[in-house]
Structure 1
């Protein structure tokens, strides 16, 4: 019997409700099935957040990674996105079972997170190389979410919370929704994006090679895909100076429009804060404070 951390169990129940309860009841059988089906031994997991992720050892001694999730559209989008990136700056898939929410991935070694790099400029340059490898123009046939879906998500939050939510006022919600609409209508060339790219989703794959993991999959502006990176590992003080440096470097390395970065930053930091309040009843202080920062720096689209 494998014991899951209480915090992880509560997260699964909170986010997935009844589906989460049922998944937790079947969890140990799912572990047994994976070990038998792929002839592997699943080791203690990595630190858990929303999904079960653990290293595993094959019969020949080779290490892989097992990811177990609650099946659904989000998981399908993740798998499809990894397949579309086809090894360009992205971890590779060994096998998958969409119906059961099982994903067997290659193990990136040494696997050090980009978050371990103390030099922020060096970390940002590494991230820019991964982004450059990942992004490709999106085809019309891709069955994954778009930035318009995120616009709709924010509009739904506004409808359900007409007076605001948590510290987010109704005026801020309204302005963020307008910003989403203006940005989406002005996208000239949509790209296939990671959708959740930050310091903890970029791992060292040997020597000076780095690769992304855990994509959500998103179609939209390239400028949108840098926002999660900008909002992670922020200091308690001089937040704006660090974000400014990151934006300047990414814009130069990737030929991005800084004004669109600031506008996407405002729209997404509002949405991300709302999601956190809905899921957990609280929010990240740095994300919340960045709303005003992006608001002050953006220009009308």
Structure 2
């Protein structure tokens, strides 16, 4: 069993694959991934002192954050520190507004260090551990629990679409032009009246963990002021191997979308339109990378086709 991380001497505790992923990454002005990693041990020591934390286990990590199970005054807690990036900027505010209803409970936050203290969840049990159709229904139920008006601090979905429309109109040789043209046209219509609800725009099977006080709770919200029909798309491109192995990809993806929409009480046709748009935009963004992930590019294009067949 791995030894608990030492929060007062954190340099050797950072997993190599996380360090390699951030090395050289450009970020906020005057900050690179290397700069942030060099400062991370000092940040962890400061947070441990301020919040009276002692690590209980080894470091976990996602794409953009390190997570350490700890205890404080004998109570289990989790420390999360994120690489500074725009999607995580208001994560603490969204969790505070949800107040633990449908999402992990926020215990404390230090926005200046992109740090949060959270309730512990079962990090090794998420919605990939149950049947796919049941998992879709659980996600739809979380849409209902998380739904509430968005406060003015959150970015507006309508404002984001201006940039996305321009990118789709510019297009990419790796993405069918008929798709990018159609996505741009659809966004022009969808953007009207699409703001106002606090949504979790990355609510997929691995971002829902088992908990003691509730069967399932959402994590990593990437909050936005938008509409819940926009939030269905990640359910389509996650657990992709199961979709690809099904007898009909179109039927499988449409079933997922329909189950989430029904459980959430949202308009299925609008969810389908937004899902097509997000898949096409993801394909355009992936194609623009210096070394596109060909598998993910294929996933986005193939799923987008299935939305409109």
1:207 is displaced (CA, Å) by 7.2
Q: Which residue of 2 aligns with 1:124?
A: 136
Q: Which residue of 2 aligns with 1:16?
A: 27
1:216 is displaced (CA, Å) by 0.6
Aligned to 1:164, the other structure's residue is in SS state coil
* Unmatched runs of 5 consecutive residues or more in structure 1: 297-301
Given the superposition, is the C-alpha separation of residues 232 and 82 from structure 1 closer, same or farther in structure 2, using an over 3 Å criterion? same
Distance 2:284 2:58 in 1: 33
Q: Which residue of 1 aligns with 2:91?
A: 78
Partner deviation per Cα, 1:187-210 (whole Å, 9 max, x = no partner): 4x7421111100011111127621
Q: Which residue of 1 aligns with 2:62?
A: 48
Partner deviation per Cα, 1:130-183 (whole Å, 9 max, x = no partner): 111011233xx4211222233133235347xx3516x22444333222222211
- Describe how 1:219-238 pairs up with structure 2 within 5 A: 219-234=225-240, 235=242, 236-238=244-246
Q: Which residue of 1 aligns with 2:161?
A: 151
Assess if the C-alpha contact under 8 Å between 2:235 and 2:257 holds in 1. Answer: no
1:109 is displaced (CA, Å) by 4.1
Assess if the C-alpha contact under 8 Å between 1:196 and 1:225 holds in 2. Answer: yes
1:272 is displaced (CA, Å) by 2.2
Aligned to 1:63, the other structure's residue is in SS state strand
Given the superposition, is the C-alpha separation of residues 41 and 287 from structure 1 closer, same or farther in structure 2, using an over 3 Å criterion? farther
Given the superposition, is the C-alpha separation of residues 59 and 186 from structure 1 closer, same or farther in structure 2, using an over 3 Å criterion? closer
1:243 is displaced (CA, Å) by 1.4
Distance 1:5 1:181 in 2: 43
1:73 is displaced (CA, Å) by 4.4
1:58 pairs with 32, 54, 72, which one? 72
199-208 vs 91-100, which moves further = 199-208
1:34 is displaced (CA, Å) by 1.9
Assess if the C-alpha contact under 8 Å between 2:257 and 2:268 holds in 1. Answer: yes
Given the superposition, is the C-alpha separation of residues 177 and 54 from structure 1 closer, same or farther in structure 2, using an over 3 Å criterion? farther
- Describe how 1:1-301 pairs up with structure 2 within 5 A: 1-12=11-22, 13-14=24-25, 16=27, 18-42=31-55, 43-60=57-74, 62-71=75-84, 73-109=86-122, 112-117=125-130, 119-138=131-150, 141-158=151-168, 162=170, 164=172, 167-185=174-192, 187=194, 190-206=196-212, 209-234=215-240, 235=242, 236-238=244-246, 239-278=249-288, 281-283=292-294, 284=296, 285-296=298-309
1:63 is displaced (CA, Å) by 1.8
8-17 vs 141-150, which moves further = 8-17
Assess if the C-alpha contact under 8 Å between 2:140 and 2:262 holds in 1. Answer: no
What is the number of residues matched between the two proteins?
288
Given the superposition, is the C-alpha separation of residues 231 and 15 from structure 1 closer, same or farther in structure 2, using an over 3 Å criterion? farther
* Unmatched runs of 5 consecutive residues or more in structure 2: 1-10
Q: Which residue of 1 aligns with 2:4?
A: none
Aligned to 1:53, the other structure's residue is in SS state strand
Distance 1:67 1:247 in 2: 31
Distance 2:261 2:225 in 1: 19
Given the superposition, is the C-alpha separation of residues 52 and 173 from structure 1 closer, same or farther in structure 2, using an over 3 Å criterion? same
CA RMSD of superposed structures (Å): 2.5
Distance 1:154 1:254 in 2: 26
Given the superposition, is the C-alpha separation of residues 48 and 252 from structure 1 closer, same or farther in structure 2, using an over 3 Å criterion? closer
236-245 vs 218-227, which moves further = 236-245
